[in-house]
Amino acid sequence: MKRELGVGLRALWRRPLAGLLVWSVPEVLPTAVSGYVVAQAIDSGFLAGDLWRGLAWLGALFAASLLGGLGSRGVFRYLGALVEPFRDTLARHIVAGALTNATAGRREDGAVARLTRQLEIVRDTYAGLILLTRGFAVTVVGVAAGLLSLSPLVAAVIVPPFLLGLGLFAATIGIAAGRYRTAVAADERLASEAGTVLGGARDIVATGTEDHAAGMVADRATAQAKAELALARLAVLRTGCFVVGAWLPLALLLFAGPWLVAGGASAGTIMGGLTYILFGLQPALNQFITGTGDSGLRFIVTLRRILDAGGEFPTATTLPESEEPRPDRPVADTSRLRARDLSFRYGPRSERVVDGLDLDIQPGEHLAIVGQSGIGKSTLACLLCGLLPPDTGEVTIGGQPVAGLPPRELAELRVLIPQQAYVFSGTVADNLTYLNPYAPGDLIDEALDVVGAAKLVSELGGPTAEVSPAQLTDGQRQLIALARAYLSPAPLVFLDEATCHLDPAAEERAELAFAARGGSLVVIAHRISSALRAKRIMVMDGPRSSIGTHTELLSRSPLYRDLVGYWNG
Ligand SMILES: Nc1ncnc2c1ncn2[C@@H]1O[C@H](COP(=O)(O)OP(=O)(O)OP(=O)(O)O)[C@@H](O)[C@H]1O
């Protein structure tokens, strides 16, 4: 929350702010003098039997209101000059982030349109917040000055409970921002899961997994309902803050009436105090609480989305108003994988399959993982892909922790092809573009060609032909899955013995295609030829796993020597 407030406050630090504050003075004048004028009208006018004097005081209040109207007009003139440059800076940030992602090969998938909608929300809520907080601050200062000039005794009754209510509200803002964020995230997860289930409706019905699919959506719906309830409970708390800050001063003033009169306060003074509460503090606090609780939270949460979607946000020092942004930020290393202290076992009493593993895969690297059958290669691949949660440790891809990422976002980071390739009933094109529905025809042709699936697809009748998975061989299924992974937008590819049903020449062709695709490649190798194509090789042996080149491992890993001997034999 601090970062978002910091960005908003820094953007305020411009010349128009001075104009805005200067025009706030006449704007607050009617509120500041209202109680004092009412007290004078009653005490020295109507109660003293001098009708004209009373009316003259009320006329003064009317004149102050006219001045207030002029002040409001001036405030709005400067508001635009403050808000629009902030909007422009955010827009540059969004475009720079989109360009960085595009040059790094990540799919945009409507992100710019989504961020642009969020930009308008931030602009509107930012303007609302400026008006709100400024109006609240000048009203409180004006009322405090008016109360002190009216009667310090009355001020002593009204101000403390008002400040208490305000303080209580301030204490809930952090919690409210957290709950609002949770509610927005739960909402999006529900929409994403429902979208996934709807998109796979045909397969769900075909495989009879309706109950499972309904369960997937039900969990998200329950989580979303919970988050909304937590948010609603907070609204009740906010009402409590308003009661303390706005109604308690009124009750105290009425109860303290006899004591105030004994202390020298007149009927007009008490009426003036009531005027300050009813026409100054109450509406100001009400607007402030509802406004910051609504626009304020939307501003913080939406701005966070925009800031998280791009790189470093340009501050006043890094991006002067007149300067164009320079697109010289380094391209994000979206295919860099980093695992730290990774441990995993399938059950509380089973052996650890992975134990305290640290692993770095550099952008563009080609790594092979080898090891005896059952040592944990597939398990490790699932951990690195975020398909299994580790017992300890963390995996990041492109700097982003994979834990807890929704499937759609994970699919944009990495693609895993398991040994048993999945082909579903539908057209060849449906199967190929499953991970990239908007893949253009020439990219599909390229994918089929480089992984060696073009001949198969032509024999099947072309991309529009229907596929019957049961009639395909294991090798044919693997070719279709390979072309699908090649078309995926993910910069990191895992092939878990994904070519084991192809002959060595076809396997070489497919692996070379992935190595040349851009991004990083991890191959769980089942042949020495496959391991030798990688720049580095990881030999898995539980806690004794080691990494190096083929030559390094031959000299230092007995297990690797055994494996090579076995493969060559
Ligand atoms: N779902 C599971 N539940 C419990 N144990 C499992 C599960 N999946 C794998 N294992 C066990 O975890 C260990 C590692 O299995 P894994 O499949 O990761 O090994 P692998 O090296 O990929 O084997 P292979 O080369 O034969 O494919 C094995 O002992 C296996 O029996």
Residue nearest to atom 5 of ligand 1 (CA): 346
pLDDT grade for 332, boundaries at 50, 70 and 90: very low
Among protein residues, the one with the nearest Cα to ligand 1's atom 24 is: 373
Asked if 278 and 420 sit in the same domain, the reply is: no
Atom 7 of ligand 1 has which residue's CA nearest to it? 346
Among residues of the chain, what percentage have pLDDT more than 90? 34
**165-171-173 Cα angle (round to 5):** 110
CB 369 less than 6 A from any atom of ligand 1: no
- Using the mean position of ligand 1's atoms as its centre, give its distance from the Cα of residue 542 in Å: 12
Atom of ligand 1 nearest to the CA of 419: 27
Pocket test for ligand 1, best of 346, 416, 566 (most atoms within 8 A of CB): 346
Q: Where are the alpha helices (DSSP H) in 385-461?
A: 407-413, 428-432, 441-451, 454-460
Q: How confident is the model at residue 419 (pLDDT cuts 50, 70, 90)?
A: confident
Domain containing 188 equals 2-309
- Reply yes or no on whether the pLDDT at 106 is more than 60: no
pLDDT number for residue 529: 87
Atom of ligand 1 nearest to the CA of 371: 21
**CA triplet 99, 103, 109: central angle to 5 degrees?**
65
Residue 357 and residue 295 in one domain? no
List all residues 6 or more positions away from 73 whose beta carbon is below 8 Å from its beta carbon: 23
Ligand 1 and 371: CB distance under 6 A: yes
- Does residue 324 belong to any structural domain of this protein? no
Top mean pLDDT of 58-67, 78-87, 91-100, 302-311 is at 58-67
**Percent of the chain residues topping a pLDDT of 70:** 89
**193 and 300 together in one domain:** yes
Please list the residues that pair with 39 across neighbouring strands.
none
The per-residue pLDDT for range 500-549, each reduced to its tens digit, is: 999 999 999 999 999 998 889 999 998 888 899 999 999 998 767 899 99
Mean pLDDT of 365-385: 93
Task: Give the number of the atom of ligand 1 that is nearest the alpha carbon of residue 497.
Answer: 27
Residue ID of nearest Cα to ligand 1 atom 4: 346
Are both 403 and 524 inside the same structural domain?
yes
Nearest CA to ligand 1 atom 29: 374
173 pLDDT band, cuts 50/70/90, is: confident
pLDDT for res 544 = 76
Same-domain status, 234 and 105 = yes
- Asked if 441 and 490 sit in the same domain, the reply is yes
Residue with CA nearest ligand 1 atom 30: 374
Provide the CB-side half-sphere exposure for 402 (13 A, CA). 32
Which residue carries 């969020």 as its tokens? 118
For position 383, what pLDDT does the model report?
A: 95
Measure 402 CA to ligand 1 centroid, in angstroms: 21
Q: Would the pLDDT of 446 be above 80?
A: yes
> Is 330 part of a structural domain of the chain?
no
Residue 262 lies in a domain: yes
What was the pLDDT predicted at 447? 94
Same domain, 107 and 224: yes
Q: What is the pLDDT of residue 130?
A: 85
With respect to residue 373, please indicate whether it lies within any of the assigned structural domains. yes
Mean pLDDT rounded to a whole number for the chain: 84
Same domain? For 219 and 347 the reply is: no
Question: Ligand 1, atom 17: nearest CA belongs to which residue?
Answer: 378
For residue 20, give the H/E element and its range. helix 16-40
Q: Answer yes or no: is 441 within a domain.
A: yes
> Do 304 and 344 lie in a common domain?
no
- The CATH number given to whatever domain includes residue 509 is 3.40.50.300
Per-residue confidence (pLDDT) for residue 18, from 0 to 100: 77
Any atom of ligand 1 within 6 Å of the Cβ of 545: no
Q: Residue 208: its pLDDT value, please? A: 77
Ligand 1 centroid, distance to 346 Cα (angstroms)? 9
Would residue 362 count as lying in a domain? yes
CATH number at residue 23: 1.20.1560.10
Is there a domain that residue 410 lies in? yes
39-43, 67-71, 293-297, 562-566, range with the lowest pLDDT: 293-297
pLDDT at 456: 95
Q: Which residue has the higher pLDDT, 515 or 322?
A: 515
* Cα separation, 477 vs 472, whole angstroms: 6
Per-residue model confidence (pLDDT) at position 245: 92
C-beta of 346 in contact with ligand 1 (< 6 A): yes
User: Is 349 found in the same domain as 299?
Assistant: no
Ligand 1 site, residue 377, Cβ cutoff 6 A: yes
Residue 328 in this model has a pLDDT that exceeds 70: no
Over residues 329-352, mean pLDDT: 80
Confidence class for position 15, pLDDT limits 50, 70, 90? low
Task: Let me know whether 284 and 389 are in one domain.
Answer: no
| Per-residue confidence (pLDDT) for residue 323, from 0 to 100 | 33
Task: For ligand 1, say whether the CB of 379 is within 6 Å of any of its atoms.
Answer: yes
Number of domains in the chain: 2
Cα–Cα distance between 141 and 555 in angstroms, integer? 79
3-state per-residue secondary structure call for 244-290:
HHHHHHHHHHHHCHHHHHHCCCCHHHHHHHHHHHHHHHHHHHHHHHH
Q: To test ligand 1's pocket by mutation, which of 342, 344, 349, 353 has the most ligand atoms within 8 angstroms of CB?
A: 353
pLDDT at 492 over 90: yes
For 190-220, the pLDDT digits (tens) are: 887 887 788 777 777 877 778 888 887 888 8
Q: Is 551 in the pocket of ligand 1 (CB under 6 A)?
A: no
For residue 97, the model assigns a pLDDT of: 65
Which residue of 349, 379, 499, 541 sits with most ligand 1 atoms within 8 Å of its CB, as the best mutation to test the pocket?
Answer: 379
Of 75-84, 174-183, 356-365, give the lowest mean pLDDT range: 75-84
Q: Is 353 in the pocket of ligand 1 (CB under 6 A)?
A: yes
For residue 388, report the distance from its CA to the centre of ligand 1, in Å: 13
| Mean of pLDDT values over 356-372 | 92
CA of 404 to the centre of ligand 1 (A): 23
Whether residues 292 and 427 fall in one domain? no
Domain-located, residue 440: yes
User: What are the structure tokens assigned to 302, written together?
Assistant: 């939406």
Nearest by Cα to 481 from 424, 415, 516, 432 = 432
Q: Tell me what the mean pLDDT of segment 279-308 comes to.
A: 82
Which tops the pLDDT comparison, 26 or 359?
359
